[in-house]
Chain A
Amino acid sequence: MMMSDTEEHKGIRLKAGQSAKSRQSEHSAELGEQVIVQLKTSYDKLLHEPLPDHLLQLLNELKCQEDRS
């Protein structure tokens, strides 16, 4: 079926619009993924921070409590 010039132009415009939207969506997804990578890196730094003495001491106390019971 032949398309009229107007219909054809509409189709091209629609495709161009979809493509821009799709590119924007891909771009957002890429940035979102990078934010997660960055978050993991920052979180890993927290994981490797030395633990405060009072928490370790509490664990030992719990252990002693367990031994006594």
Chain B
Amino acid sequence: MSSEAVRQGLVSYLPNLRAFGIALCGDADRADDLVQETMLKAWNSLDSFQEGTNLRAWLFTILRNTYFSECRRRRREVPDQDGDYVSRLSVPPPQQGRMDAQDLMKALGQLTEDQREALILVGAEGFAYEEAAAICNCAVGTIKSRVNRARNRLVEILGIDAVQDFGPEPLTEAVLLRTSNSF
């Protein structure tokens, strides 16, 4: 694959890499740094990219490896980094059982890192279990189990008891109903 083709790939996957970074670390600025580092690493390692393989998966692998290396370094430098991270992102169950995007993204921060990355890769990015397993360097069964646990844990954290809890809040729902009835 020519470097121009990789550059085009970087451009097209940039929003995905950034969204993955934000969902992974819960911080847009840190995610931007991760994406920047990923781009530079990818650019400098073009020789190691095998033509015909999945460029998107290759880029995601670089980003997640960079993130976990950074996490290990931070843990050595700042004790209890994880505890602080979780408390910063912790979210009480939403009032009246309703939830919004922000609640969900915060709840993601309360999952273990393994569960979070598996859920984002499969549930949000749409990678196949096999692709996600290759990115995370683990067995397919492990990814399936992490996704399942992450999904159940999110339901638990968000205090969701019924499907209706996912709907719009009552006022919006009433407006939507009224609007749809007037046509």
Contacts and interface: CB of A to CB of B under 8 A. Distances in A.
B155 A35 contact: yes
Given A34-B166, A62-B43, A55 B18 contact: yes
Q: Which label, helix, strand, loop or mixed, suits the secondary structure of the B interface?
A: helix
A46 B7 contact: no
Given A31-B155, A32-B155, A59-B7, A46 B23 contact: yes
A30 B148 CA distance: 12
A39 B119 contact: yes
A62 B39 contact: yes
Interface string B146-181: 001001101100101011001000000000000000
Contacts of A46: 18-19, 22-23
Given A31-B160, A35-B151, A35-B160, A55 B32 contact: yes
Interface residues of B, number: 38
A52 to B, nearest CB: 5
Interface stretch (B8-16, B54-62, B64-72, B129-137): B8-16
B105 interface: yes
B163 A36 contact: no
Interface string A35-56: 1111111110111110110110
B36 A47 contact: no
Given A46-B23, A51-B15, A59-B10, A36 B39 contact: no
B140 interface: no
Interface of A: 28, 30-32, 34-43, 45-49, 51-52, 54-55, 58-59, 62-63, 66
19 contacts: A28-B155, A31-B163, A34-B160, A35-B154, A35-B155, A37-B166, A38-B101, A39-B154, A40-B123, A41-B101, A42-B104, A42-B105, A43-B23, A51-B14, A51-B18, A52-B32, A59-B10, A59-B39, A66-B4
